Amino acid sequence: MAAAATLLVVLLAQADAGAPFVEDAGPAEPAMAIEAFEAFEPFVEAAPDAGAGPALEAFEVAPSSPTVRLFGAARAETSVDTRFDSPRNVPFAENVAEGRLKVSLGVDVKVNERVRVVLEGRAQVRLSTQRELDRAKGFFEPLLGDAYVDVYSPKVDLRVGNQRIALGANAALAPADALNPRDLRESFVAAELEDSLLPVPAVRAQGTLGAVSYLAAYVPFFQSHRYFIFGQDEALLQPALAPSFDTRRVDPSVEDFAQERFFETRRPPPFLGDVALRLTSTGKVKVGGSWVWMNEKMPRVVIDPEVQVLASANAAGRPVPQAAAASVLNRFQAGETLFRGTYARTHLFSAQGSAIIGPAQLDVDVTYSPRQTFFDAEFRPIDKSAVTWVVGLSQASDSKFVYALSYFGLAIPSIAAGQQVVLLEPSTAAGAARTAWFHLFVANLSYALWRDRLALELRAAFEPIGLSFALGPKVTWQGVEGLKVWLGAEVYEGASFSPFGYLSRNDKVMLGVRYELF
């Protein structure tokens, strides 16, 4: 959430002290006269040109000087798989060990009561290898973090620059929270929210009108999700897909850099960006709604039918049709584009609510989209309307036991009898027209021991339709202020085309350290 500015107004009262009031005593007596006394004015210094009486000295509040705060953190972690499934020298072999280093450094300058400037830089180094140190690789990635200027006024607060724009009530799963792209290269279990959501260049205005709080945002330049296509545990193409091309032909030194725009053939033009408007009440029970008009952050990939025939035959081990192969070769030599990867535009209409119920906070989000891109069993895009909802319950008071529980639901009506929404439906679902349903339960539990120096944490997710789940136990020690050392694990179970059986197939143990620099 963006911080609200408070303006301090100081009123100075100034009064002039005139001559004291002296009652007229009438005609003076010759024998005796009453001496007139002036009232004593303590701590009042007369000006050099003072007239009849002294004046109060005028005081002015000295202008506040800028304040500067440095902030930053460093995080390092390493992981090793609990088993090595892939043989050596095969396409799409799994990575069995990985190391990451992430560093952020920023400055927060409060120029005065009306202007604030934040500038943050981020960088990460990622190393990985297959078994026997095959295809060892690494990359360095700099990234601009929060970099914006805040201008505060009594009517509206304006923020311009690279920023995070939060929408919806649930901090992690709100379907309306779609302006910021996500880094899908992060682990589902170990990732922190600030690492998964990427700031974007935007203009955001917010304020309060009576009992209503408003937010308006415009993101002029398109940025997609960050993701791996192959070669990593979190990649979109995994060994279960029996890929039709050999990734060993891609040198490890360029493998990760070549993937970012591999599926793209066209991006949205500049300034045809995302727009959002949100209105919420300001009482103890907050209710509201929002509208987002945006470009989807994942490409909509349409493969040429002849290429699809060749890929399907190759993946199934059947002979490749020679006529189709010759046609594809001729078209490729003629410069034809054999696939298209574009970004569809859609609307999100959302309602949200949150309330404090005893020691807990209840959050509810509901979003309707008239069209979203899903993929069928052949990984061909299909357009469907969808309704998404999230119900969350989280700890709202100080306690050694902290919890956050969320239920994520999705309904996709009008699925044709021959269609199957891949990863969200089992293969047995096809055969009749229907509404596709998806349910996901997510929990984050932690308990602090030994004067909060030791924390036991469990992250868990379960989806009942595919019967897949993920578990992430973690133990964190904090004996030195600002330093955290943790040991954890990731366990993923499920069928090959279930959400958690597919997206990250390797169980692993992990060791990490995080240090707050300032």
**Which tens digit of pLDDT belongs to each residue from 265-297?**
899 999 999 999 999 998 889 999 999 999 999
Instruction: Please state the pTM of the whole predicted model.
Output: 0.82
| Residue carrying structure tokens 């330049």 | 221
Contact status, residue 401 vs residue 359, Cβ threshold 8 Å: no
Ramachandran class of 401: left when φ > 0, alpha when ψ lies in -120 to 50, beta otherwise: beta
- Which region among 94-108, 122-136, 184-198, 350-364 has the lowest average model confidence (pLDDT)? 184-198
Does 67 have pLDDT greater than 50? yes
Residue 408: pLDDT band (50, 70, 90) is very high
Fold designation for 70-299+343-516: Porin (2.40.160)
Residue 191: pLDDT band (50, 70, 90) is confident
Percentage of the chain beyond pLDDT 90 is 54
Mean pLDDT of the chain: 83
In angstroms, the CA 97 to CA 127 distance is 8
- Which region among 86-100, 275-289, 349-363, 488-502 has the lowest average model confidence (pLDDT)? 86-100
In angstroms, the CA 435 to CA 148 distance is 44
- Which region among 252-256, 282-286, 309-313, 413-417 has the lowest average model confidence (pLDDT)? 309-313
Beta partners for residue 351, in sequence order: 289, 366
| Residue carrying structure tokens 């955001």 | 204
Residue 53: pLDDT band (50, 70, 90) is very low
Domain map (residue ranges) of the chain: 70-299+343-516
How far, in Å, are 52, 54, 60, 491 from residue 49 at the CA level?
Answer: 10, 10, 21, 86
Kindly state the tokens that stand for 98. 């990985």
Residue 144: pLDDT band (50, 70, 90) is very high
* Segment 160-187 mean pLDDT: 94
pLDDT of residue 196: 87
pLDDT of residue 30: 39
Nearest partner of 356 among 390, 389, 391, 393, judged by Cα? 393
pLDDT of residue 51: 44
Does 63 have pLDDT greater than 70? no
Does 245 have pLDDT greater than 60? no
Residue 251: pLDDT band (50, 70, 90) is confident
Cα 192 from chain centroid (whole Å): 9
Nearest partner of 164 among 3, 355, 391, judged by Cα? 3
Query: Which position has the higher pLDDT, 14 or 316?
Result: 316
